[in-house]
Structure formats: C-alpha cells, structure tokens
Structure 1
Amino acid sequence: MKIFKIPIIPYKSTFVGEQNTLDYQAICIFAATGFFLDDDTFFKEQKVLRPSNTYQIENNTVVSKNTYFKWHYSPVERPLDQIVQEFATLFETIIKEQVGDKKVILPLSGGLDSRTQAAALNYLKIPVSSYSYEFTDGHKETKYSEKIAKVCNFPFSKWEISYGYLWNCIEELAKINDCYSEFTHPRQMTFLENYKKMGDIFSLGHWGDVLFDDMGVSDDLSFNDQVEIIIKKIVKKGGIELAESLWNEWNLDGSFKDYLKNRIITLLKEIDIPQSANAQIRAFKSLYWAPRWTTTNLSVFENAKPITLPYYDNRMCEFICSVPEHYLSGRQIQIAYLKMRMPELAKITWQDHRPFNLYNYHWDKKPWNIPYRIFNKVFRILKNKKIVQRNWELQFLGEENDKQLQKWLFENEKMQTIIPVKLINIFYKNFQNKDAVNYSHPVSILLTLSLFFKNQK
C-alpha cells in the first residue's frame, strides 16, 4: 500500500491505472484546449491523481481518497500594508525553505512574478544566476530582464530562440512531457544544456499572475456566465473546430460542445464559492488549468535541475483564500511588495504596460499612452520587418520548418490508423493557405498527437 498526498497545486502529475483503451473524448478536449481536463489522460483506464487529496494506492489501483483542502473565500479585512507584510513574510519564508543555501537559477521577464522573486532572493542574500530569452526577429524583451538583474547584481545570460528550434529535440521532449502539452510552448527545451551549468536549483514564478490578480469579472457574475467565461478562457483558436472534427470522425455520442460544457458545469459546481465569482474562477483555474497545463512543461526544467515554485506552495494557496478580492485586483500586493523591498525594481518598465513602470502604470490608457503607441507603430513601419510574436511562427513558418512539419503530420502510419490523412490535410492546408493564426493550434495539436502515437507500442 502506497500513500500519496497530492499538493493543492501539484508540480507534477501522478498517474494510476493501465494504458489500455484510448479515451477519445478526453483527447477531443485536449484538441480544443491544449490540456487534459481534471483527471483525464490519453487512456480510459489511467487517471491522474487529483489535487488536494490523499490517496491510498495498491496494485496500481486507488483504494481510498480523502480531500484535505477545498478552495474557499474567507476574506479577513485588514489594511493593504498589513497584507503586504504577511505576504512578504510568507513568500520569503517559502523561498528560503525551498532553496536553502543552493545557488538559484532564476528565469526573468519584464512582468511581476519573477521580479517579485528577484526582490525576495536579493533581500535574503541567496546566490542567483539569472537569464532571459527572446525570439529571433522578435521584441527585445530581454532588456527589461537585464535591467532587473543589474539592479539585483545577479549574473545574467541573454539567449535567443531561433527558427526551427524544436525539430532537433522534439522526440526528447515527447519523452519528457509524455505529449501532455502541445509542442510549441516549451521553449526552455532550447537551453537544457545551458541550465545545467548555471546553478543548483530553479526558482520558478509560475501561477503568481493568477493567484495575485482578479479574474476580470464582477463578483456577482452568475454561474452560467462563469461557465461561458471559463470555456472562452480555456478553448484555443481553432480548437473547437479540430475537436468537433475528431469527435465526428470517431463517431462519439452527442456533440462535443455539449460534452465540454457539461464537464465544466460539473467541475465548477464542485468548487461552490457563491460569494465571489473571481475566487471561484481562480479556484477552477488552480484546480484544473495549473496542474494539467502549466505544470506539464515544468518537467523540462526538472530534466536539467531540481525545481521549486513558491507560488505553488500550499501555504500560499491558503493565504490567497483569506485576502479580500479588492486587494487582489490589479496585482496590488506584488506591486506594493516590490516598492517596499526594492524601489529600484519598481522603477523598471512593466512589460505589459510599457513604457510605464510600477509607479506610473495607471497612465497606460488614453490619451496618455497615445504618444508611445504612435512611436511604436512608426518604428515598426520604418523597420519594415515583421516582428515574431508567437512560438509557432518560429516553429512552423518557412521552407525548412514546413518540411519537418509535413514529415511528422503525413509520414506517421500509426497516427493515420486513428486520424485519417484527409482530416490532417484539411487543417494543414487551412494553416498554410487560409488563416495561420487560427489554425496554428490545431496543427500544433496534430503534431503532438503524431509524436504520441509514434511512441505507442
């Protein structure tokens, strides 16, 4: 008998059961959203152990399950300054416990989560080696990260993700993440060897942006409207079209849209936080999106070095349940923390609100942001070069990329026994000739499924 206590937000999936029968309904949801929902896997008999539960497992079968935490909204009113102090103590305690005296590898961006980590690591005087990357022909995003590293006196590495970066390592990636995420997202695959030379342990800022912000809705939003919001958030462009095509090809009962909606309704009802739609949607994302989407590619980092995630800590989840929503909206807590711990970091441009920083980002609205928008547009016109903004542009566009893509989509006999070439060709042609933005996700899913079926015995 083995006992598994699954964290509130697990950093890896724990599987139980046999890999026997393909679960076509689950694969359709994967096609629509890019991740598997709840405890689904590629197989009907195999499941993922759910967050916040303690399991007894014997002979690869669940014997018992006990829920030890349920997301809730129990706000305790107190001043923002007090909440920021509570966050500071908790956040820094978690980081210190997680990394000890090891040298930390810190990915940096122009956002708030990694910047908040940088402030904490600097305050705790923990040795850090930092890095950031940007796309070839993309925005020069590393300039913000480099400024953060300089203020903190962290060694900094600047890297570039090149065209076709995935093809040389795609089969290795398939083994690392078991094809539970589409392949255009784990850009960190490019730098696996670099990581191994940088330090002892990762400190990753995943999920801070969800926990420390509102969900952009009114707290009295109706249950039915919450369902629609969640579906809109999780479904990718072109995802429904691919899912429905597979659903019909496999002759599944009913309609895919109804199946997806009923699954969301059932899962959202289980959460049951009637006081706050924001808290309920955040809980949904933390239960089902974080473990099955965000967590999946953490395995790539872990393939190089051990990982830690301060925002994933159980205590952080419990803390969030006590914070009034009006303090979570607009990232107020992290912003106030940065101003308190390292004002110089708060003065660096916030990438999502460039050219504004944490002291003046409120001006990122008309008419005050118009001069920057005009300047930015003129700069792009004068540069006369398309700026790469999305992963798939590096991976799928261009002659050499297309050769590799066609190879994986059309030269896999195992996949063609389950997904006919005619269907694959429709989405490939639509990507090439009709709407690359809308059909990039379906093509990426089909590429991922090709690797999955190739690896099946």
Structure 2
Amino acid sequence: MKTIKTPIIPINNTIAKVQGKHELDLEAICLFIAFGFFIDTDSYWKDEIVLSPGSIYKLDKDGHVISSEKWFQWNYKPREISFEDTLQEFTKLFETVVEDQTKEKKVILPISGGLDSRTQAVALRNHPNVKSYSYDYEGGYPETKIAKKIADKCQFPFQSLSVPKGYLWNCIEELAEINQCYSEFTHPRQMAFIDTFKDMGESFSLGHMGDLMFDSFGFPNLSFDEEVEVLVKMLLKKGGFELAEALWKSWNLKGSFEDYFDSRIRELLKDIKIENTNARIRAFKTQYYVSRWSSNNLSIFNKVAPVTLPYYDNRMCEFICTIPEEHLANRKLQIAYIQQNAPDLAKVTWQSKKPYNLNNYHLNKTPYNLPYRITNKLKRELNDFMGKPYISRNWELQFVGKENDKHLRKWLFDSKLKDLVPKDIIQQFYDNFKEKDAVKYSHSISMLLTLALFQEKFNNK
C-alpha cells in the first residue's frame, strides 16, 4: 500500500486509478472545453482521477485508490490585526519562504510588468545568484522594458525575449507530451524559449497565484445562487460553452450541458464552508482553477528545471486564511511591501496601470490618463494603417495568417480529431473563428486543437 499526501496547491498533478471501464469521460471533456481546464478530480478517462489538493490518499500496489481524506480545508478566520502588523508578518513570512526555496541555488526569475514577480525581485535582491528574463509579443506592448528596469535596479543579469509568430507549430507535439493535453496550447508562452532556459540556472522562482491571493474580488456578501452565477461568469470561456453544448448533443449525453455544469459548480461550492463571499470564491478558484490550470502549465518549466513558488507554499495558504479581506483588497499588501523595502522598484511602471507606477496609480482615471490613452490609441491606429497590427493575445501569433492557417487546418481536418468530434462541428467552429468573431471563437479553436493532439498521442483505441 502507498500513501500520498498532496499539498494545498500541488505543483504536479498526480493521476491514480479508480474502478470503472477505461473509456472516455465525455461529460468531463465537455467541462474541459467550456472552462479550459479539467475540474476537481476529472480526467480524460472514467477509470482515472487526478488526486485532490490538501488530501491524503491510500493506493494499492496497482495504483488504485483505496481511501482518501482531507487534511486541509480552505477556511476564513480573520484575526483582529492592523494593516501594519499584517504587512510585518507578510514580509517576514514571504522572505522566509523565498529564502527556504532558493538558498544556495542558481535561480531563474521571470519578471513581468506586474506585481507578483516584482515582490520576488525584492525578496531576492541580496541573493548571490539570480538570472532574470522577460518576454513580450512581436508587435505588442514592450513589457520587457519594464522588466529590464526592475532587473537593473536589482543588479540581476537580464535577457529580453520576443515571442515569435507561429512558434507553436514547431513544438506542439513536444508540448502535448509535456502537459499531456490537460491544458490548451496557446497560453504557455514559455514553450517558445524552452531551449533558452536550459543554461540559465538550476531552479525557477515563479510568481503564480500572487494576484489571486493578495487581492479581493470586491463583492458584497452574496447568496449561494449569486455566488454560483459569479463563478459561471468567471469560468466559462467565450465560445467554450457553445462548443461544449454542441458536443454534448452530438455525443447524446443525458440531460443538458448547462444543467450539468451548474450542478457540478454547486456541488463543489457547497463543500467550501466559508461565509464571506470573497474568501469563498478565492478558495474555489485556488482549489479548482489554480491546481488544475496554472499548475498543469508548470510542467513546461519543470521540463527544464525544478520550480519553486512562494505563493504556493502551505505556510502562505494558511496565512491567507487569517487575514481580513480589507487588508488583501487592491493588492495593498504587495504594494506596501515593495514601497517599504524597495522604493526604487515602486517607481517603475505598473503595466496594468501604465503609464503610472505603484506610487501614483490612483491617477489612472479620467481626466489624468486621457493624454496617454489618446496617444496610445493613435499609435495603434497608425500601426494598423501600416500593416503592423497590435498584438496582445497569444492566439493572434499562432492562428492568424496564411502560414498559421495551414498548420491549424492540418491538425483540425487531417488528424484523428474527426474520430472524436464530428467534422461538421469542426467546420462550423473553424468558420465561426474565421468569419464571425475571432476573439470569441479563438478558445473553441484552441480546445479543438488540444483534442486533436490528444487523439493523436493518447487515445489509441
């Protein structure tokens, strides 16, 4: 017998066997298409599950689950504590976790224009061996310029990278092997630089989850039905519901897809015994979204070197459960931490509030930001006129243009995808993407592409 204790937020998803036939779980696949990730313990197969976070499992010698129990439940027990004391506790905990994870290692630090990696940069400033990098899109916002300023102020060696158009087609089969088709292929941009990372260091320090932990959704306390409605809006991807519903009907599944996903969300939300709406939704997203979507994409980093994530640490999760929502709202803790410990980094542009920084981002409103908005709009219009459209989404680099379309059509129409998805549905959603609304249907196309690779690589029946 084997015992497995999963962390509160797993870095790696562990698959185990359960009783049942080895056949596709079509209901779970429909949810995967609608959300972009498998939810709870779902997998492609009825006789396989992904072990749940914060749990202890006992497996037999053949890898079948004998029993399971939760050792951690998300909770909300806020202490009566001032913001200043909270900041002091966060500072000590965060820097302890970062030191524990990176001590005596050659660290690779991705830096963005946001806050999560910036807090890590602060904690790593005195580390003797950090190399950093950032990437942006060809034709997109030059995020690497912000990242380089942060790296320079911390005296980290820095490498600027640009995500090339159509890189996906050179590595899509390798990517499918790495993530096992448990997430779609357009979001993990790091795949474009997997060879570049190999000589940079021996351990990644990644900032995933910071934006979810150290913010509040700003909802008043909602009823259970209202919370379900909020989650549906958060989880359903544009075009995802439409494709999932079409497949549900074509596969002759019982009931309606809408009733199915509604009942699944209700069932999972009921298990989170938290009265505060914002804390409850954070717990839901952490338990079911972060562990199944964000964590799955960590497999690409893991292919190169081990990963560490300060915001995934069990101590950080337990800390968050004790902090009042008002101290978490609006990224206040991270901002105050940077301002207090590295005021020079606070003066660097905050990308989501550009052109403002952590000290004056409250001015990012009319009329103060009108000059920037007008200038930025004119630049984009000029670039469009010159045939250089502004790129802000990864699928635009992978699905738009003749060469991309050639590769996309090959996978959608000349692969084993048609053995799972009726050809008329493939054609319908491809046409919707090309002729109706590329933004809305880009997710549908990406999910069909993922299923095509799954069919080729893993569904050998």
Matched, 1:206 2:229: no
What does the per-residue CA deviation read over 1:173-210, in whole Å, with 9 as the maximum and x for residues that have no partner? 00000000011111111111111110110000000000
- Mapped to 2, the partners of 1:184 and 1:49 lie a distance apart of 26
Give the match for residue 397 of structure 2. Answer: 394
What displacement does 1:298 show?
A: 0.2
Q: What CA distance in whole angstroms lies between the structure 1 residues aligned with 2:381 and 2:45?
A: 50
Q: Tell me, what secondary structure is at the counterpart of 2:230? A: helix
- C-alpha distance in 2 between matches for 1:343 and 1:427: 50
1:105 and 2:108 are equivalent in the alignment? yes
**2:48 and 2:183 mapped to 1: Cα distance?**
17
Tell me if structure 2 keeps the 8 A contact 1:211–1:282: yes
Q: Please report how far the alpha carbon of residue 365 of structure 1 lies from its aligned counterpart in structure 2 after TM superposition.
A: 1.5
Task: Give 1:215 shift.
Answer: 1.7
Tell whether the 8 Å contact from 1:104 to 1:126 is kept in structure 2 after alignment: no
Percent identity, please.
54
Alignment partner for residue 75 of structure 1, among 59, 78, 84? 78
2:355 counterpart of 1:355: yes
User: CA offsets per residue over residues 315-367 of structure 1, 9 Å max, x none?
Assistant: 00000001000010000000000011100000101101011111111111122
Is residue 2:288 matched to residue 1:285? no
In 1, Cα distance between the equivalents of 2:84 and 2:128?
25
Partner of 1:143: 145
Unmatched runs of 5 consecutive residues or more in structure 2: none
Give the corresponding residue for 2:219. Answer: 217
Aligned residues: 453
Report SS of the residue matched to 1:132.
Answer: strand
* SS of residue paired to 1:131: strand
Shift of 1:377: 1.3
Quote the Cα distance in structure 2 between the aligned partners of 1:43 and 1:397.
Answer: 33
> Higher mean Cα deviation, 73-82 or 306-315?
73-82
Which residues of structure 1 form unaligned runs of 5+?
Answer: none
Distance 2:369 2:277 in 1: 31
Q: TM-score, normalised by structure 1?
A: 0.98
Report the AA paired with residue 147 of structure 1: K
Q: Is the 8 A contact 1:116 1:338 kept in 2?
A: yes
Output the CA distance in 1 between the equivalents of 2:390 and 2:266: 40
Give the aligned partner of residue 22 of structure 1: 24
Q: Which among 55, 58, 76 is matched to residue 57 of structure 2?
A: 55
Residue 246 (structure 1) aligns with = 247
Distance (whole Å) between structure 2 residues aligned to residue 134 and residue 290 of structure 1: 23
How far, CA to CA, are the matches of 1:365 and 1:226 in structure 2? 29
1:172 aligns with 2:174: yes
Q: For structure 1, which segment, 17-26 or 77-86, has the greater mean C-alpha deviation from structure 2 after superposition?
A: 17-26
Give the match's secondary structure for 2:160: strand
Q: Which residue, 81, 93, 97 being the options, matches 2:96?
A: 93
SS in 1 for 2:304: coil
Single out whichever of 316-325 and 13-22 deviates more from structure 2.
Answer: 13-22
Partner in structure 2 of residue 368 of structure 1: 368
Q: Quote how far apart the aligned CAs of 1:141 are.
A: 1.2
CA deviation vs aligned residue, 1:258-308 (integer Å, no higher than 9, x gap): 10011000100000201x100000000010000111111100000001110
Q: Give the structure 1 partner of residue 228 of structure 2.
A: 227
Deviation at 1:380, TM superposition (A): 2.0
- How does the TM-score come out when normalised to structure 2? 0.97
Aligned to 1:382, what secondary structure does the other structure show?
A: helix
SS in structure 1 of the partner of residue 244 of structure 2: helix
Please list the CA deviations of residues 116-175 of structure 1 after superposition, one character each: whole Å capped at 9, or x if unmatched: 0000001x4242100000111111111110100011000000011111011011000000
Report the counterpart of residue 2 of structure 1 in structure 2. Answer: 2
Q: Which amino acid aligns with 1:360?
A: N
Question: Which shifted more, 189-198 or 359-368?
Answer: 359-368
Q: Is 1:264 aligned to residue 265 of structure 2?
A: yes
Match in the other structure for 1:65: 68
